[in-house]
Structure 1
Amino acid sequence: MPQTDVLIVGAGPTGLVLALWLHKQGINFHIVDQAEAPAKNSRALVIQSRNLELYRQLDLTDEILQHGHKLSATNLWADGRHRTRIPLDKFGCDLTPYPFLTILPQDNHERLLENRLNSLGAFVQRRTQLLDFVDHGASVTANLLSETDGSKTTWEAAYIVGCDGAHSAVRHGIHAKYEGDTYAPLFYIVDIDGGDGPLFNEEAHLTLTRGQFLLLLPYSQKRHVRLVGTTLSKDGSLDEHKDQQQQVTVDDVMPQIKDALNVETIKVNWFSTYRSHHRVADKFRANRAFIIGDAAHIHSPVGGQGMNTGIMDAINLAWKLATVLKPSSMTEEAKDQLLGSYEAERRAFALKLVESTDRGFTMVSSNDWIPYILRRWVLPYVAPLIPYFPSVGKEIFRTGSQLILSYRGSFLSQAAGTSGDIQPGDRLPWAKTKQGDNFSSIQYITWQVHVYGDSRPDIMEWCKRRNIRLSVFDWDEQHGKVGLQQDAAYLLRPDHYIAGIFAGDLMETQLDEYFSSRGLTC
């Protein structure tokens, strides 16, 4: 019987990221997918700033940026009039090294990730279906079917992870409910070339006309764009017959596209329609089986959050699986508690995200009277004010780029003893000084301690004894501006969220207590 540490079912972005992060930490895995090859087209286009930050752990960020298109601004149009331009680079420049959206079609993204995996000597077993699996308590056995020759193979693994999308076999295997609903509008996606006019300026554009929602995203400098929109009924209202099987062609939507873009000729490369859903599984884990990405949650397309959230799931789970799989003195109870923090942290965020994207999508698409008033009479007049209120713009950027994501209250976050805006569970804030930035050590997937100012000898000795990386940064006023405390010790998790903030004469004792109380080893 073939054996591995982690059996990964599904080789989309979430599965590939999970595989790459496990490989980096020396964990064996086997990854399978039913598809014969990576997708040839895609709905997901946006890579958010937080994922670019974490992609530095595998030296992937520069390659992503090389193949992607930096989107530094987005524009709002209403009833054919340009209402405002929101400069993302202006609002995000003090928050992250990547103050923009990166547009990279999911199919290109997948190929890039899989090529990196192949370069490491690991490969996806394709045309392979998960038939079922059994959790024996101490291990999992999974039955796989090769669609190439019809052969069946049973694999034994310490853990199984379902990255297998909305119809996940792993989710069905753990008997998780997938609660939510289907949005009424029928969406279309169209890939076009060579457009002309003010909307083809390499920036994003959101147009709101009557019931129509149309988002334009460029992904090259050659006027190559992707349009995402909602179909209209013959009377011009939003088509909300979600229970009907509609046969919509590109010819059906072309008049409204040309009208919204104010163009006469469009070259269409690709067209598709789909229904969008909002659902969250009632559990993300059952003993040795986990679900991540679309297998666990799906969202409206507003904000480009779905794929990014799945990738964050993978990174969150990868270091926890690696921790419990490596030889250590951790008890079974401590291992179970650490793995349980995956569901606690990620499901809570998924629920919040579904709620916020649902509100956003309802506001831009629904024909109910309150969203209509907001869309027609409030948003076009309020949005132009955003550039004049930098704090509001920064908050919008932090939310959309997932920099705002926090695990405050998690089992892994120190409960009390700190003050200020930055708290345990938060993302480590980025600070750029004349000496460089404090993300220089972000490439390491390991526990770390950061000190901004003077490091006490006992902390240096503690880190050496524990084999924990210590980074000391000369104090700069910029550190204070982003909320960091002078001379405090910041304990960082392997995914670079703050586990604890320690100050005073008992820092060494407090750090020991953090690990011992959670049964963790470094």
Structure 2
Amino acid sequence: MPETDVLIAGAGPTGLVLALWLHVQGVKIRIVDQGEGPAPNSRALAVHARILELYHQLDLADELIEHGYQLPATNVWVNGSHRAHINLRQFGTGLTPYPYLLTLPQDEHERLLEKRLNSFGIFVERKTKLQKFVDNGSSITATLASANGHESTCEAAYIVGCDGAHSAVRHGIGAKYEGGTYVPLFYIADIVAEEQDSPLFNGEAHLTFVDETFNLILPYVEERHVRLIGTTIPKTNGTQETDISESQHEVTFEDVLPEIKKTSKIEIQKVNWFSTYRSHHRVADKFRSNRAFLVGDAAHIHSPVGGQGMNTGIMDAINLAWKLATVIKHPSMTEEAKNALLDTYEPERRSFALDVVGATDHGFTVLTSSGFLPHILRAWVIPYLIPLVTRLETVRMEIFRRGSQLVCSYRGNRMLNQTTQGSEAVQPGDRLPWVKTEQQDNFSTLRDICWQVHVYGDSLVGLEEWCKTKHVQLTIFDWDEKHGKVGLKEGSAYLLRPDQYIAGIFEGDDLKSKLDEYFSTRGLLC
């Protein structure tokens, strides 16, 4: 028998979340990382609403909110002139319990996750690198190397690569990492501003454009403590691609300071740290090979536009965790059923990753490209048109849905119970819509990582008996017109997966048989 159920390579946010969600579901894990500890500085800052909703399962959301900063608004500046002020507080109202963008540095985020993992008696094995692994068919054998060069092996039922863009697991399964590298060099700085009455340090975000140069200022902790992000085109002797790797390490903060002052006109008191990095847009051609899986940057990597990368990786981890836990904790499942469930990970998450990479690539191109059309978009469309259209509630809500990843859906998956309800109705594969009435909040039951059934209206015949027999949590909500407004149907039974997505919608007579058929035809055990 393997010594552990799952070996996790990499202890960034995705690896730590995967470890937490697996452990809580009773899965034995080992997690290794070649670093000495959480990164002392990091570029990921945004934590979106969908992540906070899922963190609610382990009581992590409130802790992150306590340490983070809720961004109230964003501003657009063009050539030193203030062109737009967009109030972000209105965008997500009514869509989620967390209708805002939370900023929290990734290193602090990691420390909170690791602290929770440690509270369960599980510790990251630091200074330990995954050298290689062999898939034996029924298990994997991994070779691990410590900092002193000592090698050891680990037998595991599964291995998950959360080991970043240079993933050893991705190389091990022979996955291609298709995409490209952006020519502009990103720089990122953690700065404290001088005591001044600058409008750029008012606790709001600021996007500034001068020609093809832009800066993004994101506050966190306090008004004058901000994260500054920008791009620069390094000197390349006329051939940008030739010197792309060498140019990254030649740029210092003093080199980009003139560009920063040109775009932002700020006085800086202190630079806590400064870093440059090359951004890529790539998606692996496969996320699974038998007993090996890719999660996060090991599977996909994108430009930082919209702060989507880390959030997408965390959703990968939670999607995979319940599926691995199901096949590990239910040995009576057939191999065919296990593989069918695990096979859903790649199409569900790779499809969404492709959408995110496409959207962020388009956004980055608009922000940095030269030419007449990009100039018009930066100087006129973004500053003037967006504030106008965001006055419409439907536009604000759609922007929030997309930016916060509430829009993520897994419709069409064979593991779902397909329905013929209208296109406006909630469908299997969708995130369960959040509804708060005067009496009840339908997310209040989603703390447990388990199968659940929700009914909005009167309970259906036989449902309570079935749920009791199968040990499935059942919650019946008094019908309210708010339920209908978000696409829920009165009297229908909504079967929820452990990751809070709708697996099936059932209604009518003989509900017990319909639910039994759903699980039996897919070989699933709840």
TM exceeds 0.5? yes
Match of 1:212 in 2: 213
- 2:524 counterpart residue number: 520
The question of 1:430 aligning with 2:431 is answered: no
- Structure 1 residue 265 displacement after superposition: 4.1
State the match for 1:155 in structure 2: 154
8 A Cα contact 2:431 2:502, kept in partner: yes
- Per-residue CA distance 1:62-119 (angstroms, 9 max, x = gap): 1111111111322222222222222222120110010111111111111111111111
Could you say what the CA RMSD is over the residues aligned between the two structures, in angstroms? 1.8
Q: CA deviation at 1:242?
A: 6.5
Gaps of 5+ in 2: none
What is the alpha-carbon distance in structure 1 between the residues aligned to residue 386 and residue 525 of structure 2? 49
Looking at structure 1, the residues matched to 242 and 256 of structure 2 have their Cα atoms a distance apart, in angstroms, of 16
1:346 — aligned with what? 349
1:451 aligns with 2:455: yes
Partner of residue 370 from structure 2, selected from 367, 370, 379: 367
Alignment of 1:314-329 (within 5 A): 314-329=317-332
Q: How does 1:81-160 map to 2 (within 5 A)?
A: 81-147=81-147, 149-160=148-159
**1:362, distance to aligned residue in structure 2 (A):** 0.4
> Do the aligned partners of 1:14 and 1:292 also contact (CA within 8 Å) in 2?
yes
Runs of 4+ aligned structure 1 residues displaced above 6 Å come to 239-242
Counterpart pick for 1:383 among 382, 386, 390:
386
Which structure 2 residues correspond to residues 485-496 of structure 1 after superposition, within 5 A?
485-496=489-500
CA contact (8 A) 1:426 1:498 kept: yes
Aligned-pair identity (%): 64
Q: Say whether 1:190 aligns with 2:189.
A: yes
Distance 2:20 2:190 in 1: 30
Give the Å deviation of 1:368.
3.7
Q: How far apart are residue 379 of structure 1 and its match?
A: 2.2
How does 1:456-467 map onto structure 2 within 5 Å?
Answer: 456-467=460-471
Alignment of 1:244-393 (within 5 A): 245-246=246-247, 247-393=250-396
Contact 1:34-1:128 within 8 A present in 2 as well: yes
The TM-score with structure 2 as length reference comes to 0.95
Give the AA of the match of 2:65.
L
Residue-by-residue CA offset, 1:207-247 (whole Å, 9 max, x unaligned): 1221012111111125100010011579xxxx998636221
Within 5 A, what are the aligned runs for 1:462-473? Answer: 462-473=466-477
Q: Which moved more, 1:44-53 or 1:266-275?
A: 266-275
Kept in 1: contact 2:494–2:506 (CA 8 A): yes
1:40 corresponds in structure 2 to 40
Distance in 1 of aligned mates of 2:78 and 2:510: 58
Contact 1:418 1:501 in 2 (8 A): no
Aligned 8 A contact 2:18 2:318 in 1: yes
Matched positions, count? 519
CA distance, structure 1, for counterparts of residue 38 and residue 205 of structure 2: 27
Q: Is the 1:489–1:503 contact (alpha carbons within 8 Å) kept by the matching residues of 2? A: yes
- Give deviations 1:27-83, integer Å, cap 9, x for gaps: 000000000111100010111100000001111011111111111322222222222
Contact preservation (8 Å) 1:182, 1:242: no
Secondary structure of 2:390 counterpart: helix
Matched letter for residue 493 of structure 1: R
- The more displaced of 364-373 and 274-283 is 364-373
Q: Does 1:231 align with 2:232?
A: yes
* 1:453 partner letter: G
> In the TM superposition, what whole-angstrom CA distance separates every residue of 1:491-514 from its partner, at most 9, and x where no partner exists?
100000011111222433322221
Q: Which amino acid aligns with 1:339?
A: L
The answer to whether the 8 Å contact 2:461/2:511 transfers is no
SS of residue paired to 1:126: coil
Cα 1:163–1:265, aligned 2, differ >3 Å: closer, same or farther?
closer
Correspondence 1:474 to 2:478:
yes
* Deviation per residue, 1:305-339 (Å, 9 max, x gap): 00000000000000000000013532100100100
The question of whether the paired residues in 2 share the 8 Å contact of 1:83 and 1:383 is answered with no
Deviation at 1:137, TM superposition (A): 0.5
1:227 partner amino acid: L
Residue 219 of structure 2 aligns to which amino acid in structure 1?
P
Counterparts in 2 of 1:389 and 1:257: CA distance versus 1, 3 Å: same
8 A Cα contact 1:185 1:240, kept in partner: no
Question: 1:2 deviation in Å?
Answer: 7.4
Q: Which residue of 1 aligns with 2:50?
A: 50
Counterpart contact for 1:211–1:232, Cα < 8 Å: no
**Structure 1 pair 392/94, CA: closer, same or farther in 2 (3 Å)?**
same
2: distance between equivalents of 1:432 and 1:72? 23
CA-CA distance at 1:381 after TM superposition: 2.1
Moved more, 189-198 or 449-458: 189-198
Q: C-alpha deviations, 1:117-145, integer Å up to 9, x for none? A: 11110001110111111101101111111
- Give distance in 2, aligned partners of 1:240 and 1:137: 42
The code of the aligned residue for 1:69 comes to Y
Deviation at 1:256, TM superposition (A): 2.1
- What is the DSSP-based 3-state SS (H/G/I as helix, E as strand, rest coil) of the residue aligned with 1:51? helix
Query: How many Å separate the matches in 2 of 1:155 and 1:328?
Result: 21
